């Protein structure tokens, strides 16, 4: 698979193919389908289908007598967990329409009685999981992503508290998870 951004692609010839290796337009890596243009539309479509099957299974479970908090727990650990899986790297690349499709699944589960109406939106759940991951990256020097953080900035002045003390550089891409988290609440 050759990854390129369509708006940046000029008429460069593709490298010659290698015998025995097929060139593909999308690739499934750890359960996340990525296209050659770094879009996740195939992943969102597959996720919506998978969650529809989960909602059907929840309907069957409810018909067999599971109700209340137990049903909420099962829906939370299946459907919502599927929606939040790999959300930090993917969310910045999703289009608004794709984000709305995922939010519709949560609303449908709430209308069907599988999730509590007090459950906050998918966007809030994703933000909480993003912040939890970023905290673990910041404070654990042995974390696999810790070396990707920029160096700490020490001004020597008593300034207002910031969300972090890393040096900020112009982001290469706004969709990147670490850049999104570094520039979050920076005002």
Residue 164 counted as domain residue: no
Residue 62 counted as domain residue: yes
Query: For position 51, what pLDDT does the model report?
Result: 92
- Total tally of structural domains belonging to the chain: 1
The DSSP line for 7-28 is: TT--SPPPPPPPTT----SEEE
Residues 85 and 173 sit within 8 Å (Cβ to Cβ)? no
What is the domain range of residue 113? 26-122
Per the prediction, the chain carries an average pLDDT of 80
What is the pTM for the complete model shown?
A: 0.70
Percent of the chain topping pLDDT 70:
75
pLDDT of 75 over the 60 cut: yes
Residues 47 and 22 sit within 8 Å (Cβ to Cβ)? no
Q: H-type helices in 25-139, by residue range? A: 41-63, 69-75, 81-84, 87-91, 96-111, 122-139
CA distances (Å), origin 177, targets 14, 66, 77: 29, 38, 24
Residue 58 counted as domain residue: yes
d(CA 153, CA 49): 46
- Determine the average pLDDT of the residues in 137-157: 78
Query: For position 84, what pLDDT does the model report?
Result: 87
Q: Which residue has the higher pLDDT, 146 or 68?
A: 68
pLDDT of 155 over the 80 cut: no
The contacts found for 184-187 with CB under 8 angstroms, 24 or more apart, are 186/162
pLDDT of 185 over the 80 cut: no
Query: For position 63, what pLDDT does the model report?
Result: 93
Query: For position 1, what pLDDT does the model report?
Result: 64
**In the structure encoding, which two tokens stand for residue 153, read together?**
């900035």
Cβ atoms within 10 Å, residue 100:
12
Query: For position 61, what pLDDT does the model report?
Result: 92
Residue 112 counted as domain residue: yes
Percent of the chain topping pLDDT 90:
13
Residue 76 counted as domain residue: yes
Residue 45 counted as domain residue: yes
Residue 14 counted as domain residue: no
Query: For position 32, what pLDDT does the model report?
Result: 83
Confidence of residue 36 (pLDDT cuts 50, 70, 90): confident
Confidence of residue 64 (pLDDT cuts 50, 70, 90): very high
Query: For position 9, what pLDDT does the model report?
Result: 54
Strand 32-35 versus strand 26-29 pairing type: antiparallel
- Determine the average pLDDT of the residues in 131-160: 79
């Amino acid at each position: 698979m050759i990854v390129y951004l369509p708006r940046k692609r000029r008429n460069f010839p593709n490298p010659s193919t290698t015998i025995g290796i097929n060139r593909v337009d999308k690739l499934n890596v750890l359960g996340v389908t990525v296209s050659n243009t770094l879009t996740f539309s195939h992943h969102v479509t597959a996720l919506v289908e998978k969650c529809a099957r989960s909602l059907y299974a929840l309907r069957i479970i409810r018909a067999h007598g599971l109700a209340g908090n137990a049903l909420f727990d099962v829906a939370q650990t299946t459907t919502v967990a599927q929606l939040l899986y790999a959300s930090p790297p993917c969310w910045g690349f999703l289009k608004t329409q794709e984000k709305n499709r995922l939010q519709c699944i949560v609303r449908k589960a709430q209308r069907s009685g599988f999730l509590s109406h007090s459950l906050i939106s998918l966007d809030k759940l994703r933000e909480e999981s993003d912040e939890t991951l970023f905290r673990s990256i910041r404070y654990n020097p042995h974390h696999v992503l810790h070396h990707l953080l920029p160096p700490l900035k020490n001004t020597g002045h008593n300034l207002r508290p910031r969300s972090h003390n890393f040096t900020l550089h112009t982001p290469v891409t706004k969709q990147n998870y670490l850049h999104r988290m570094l520039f979050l609440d920076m005002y």
